[in-house]
Structure 1
Amino acid sequence: MQVKTFYQLSHDELFSILKTRVAVFVVEQACAYQEIDEVDRAADTLHVFLIQQGEVQAYARCYKPQPSVSAIGRVLVSPECRGKGVAQTLMARAIEACHAHYGPQPIKIAAQTYLTQFYQSLGFVPCGEAYLEDGIEHIDMVLR
Structure 2
Amino acid sequence: MQSKETSSIEWRWKAFGDLTNVEVYDMLAARAAVFVIEQNCLYGDVDGLDIGAWHLFAYGSQQPSGTRAKLAGYLRVLLPDNEDADIRIGRVLTTADFRGQGLGSAMLETVLGHIRAQWPRTPIRLHAQAHLQPFYGAFGFEPISDVHEEDGIPHIWMRSA
| TM-score computed with the length of structure 2 as normaliser | 0.83
Aligned to 1:55, which of 70, 95, 103? Answer: 70
Alignment of 1:1-80 (within 5 A): 1-42=11-52, 45-52=53-60, 53-66=68-81, 68-80=85-97
Segment drifting more, 134-143 vs 93-102: 93-102
Could you list the runs of 5+ residues in structure 2 that have no partner in the other structure?
1-10, 61-67
CA contact (8 A) 1:49 1:58 kept: yes
Counterpart AA for 1:63: L
Distance 2:107 2:96 in 1: 15
| TM-score computed with the length of structure 1 as normaliser | 0.92
C-alpha change, 1:131 and 1:65, in structure 2 (3 Å) is: farther
1:139 corresponding residue in structure 2: 156
Could you list the runs of 5+ residues in structure 1 that have no partner in the other structure?
none
Question: Which protein has the larger Cα radius of gyration, Structure 1 or Structure 2?
Answer: 2
Segment drifting more, 23-32 vs 67-76: 67-76
Deviating runs (4+, > 4 A) in structure 1? none
How far off is 1:99 after superposition?
2.1
How far off is 1:12 after superposition?
0.7
CA deviation string 1:54-90 (max 9, x = no partner) = 4210101001244531010000011121121110110
SS in 1 for 2:131: helix
Q: How many residues align?
A: 142
How far off is 1:101 after superposition?
2.8
How far off is 1:112 after superposition?
0.1
Distance 1:100 1:38 in 2: 26
Identity %: 33
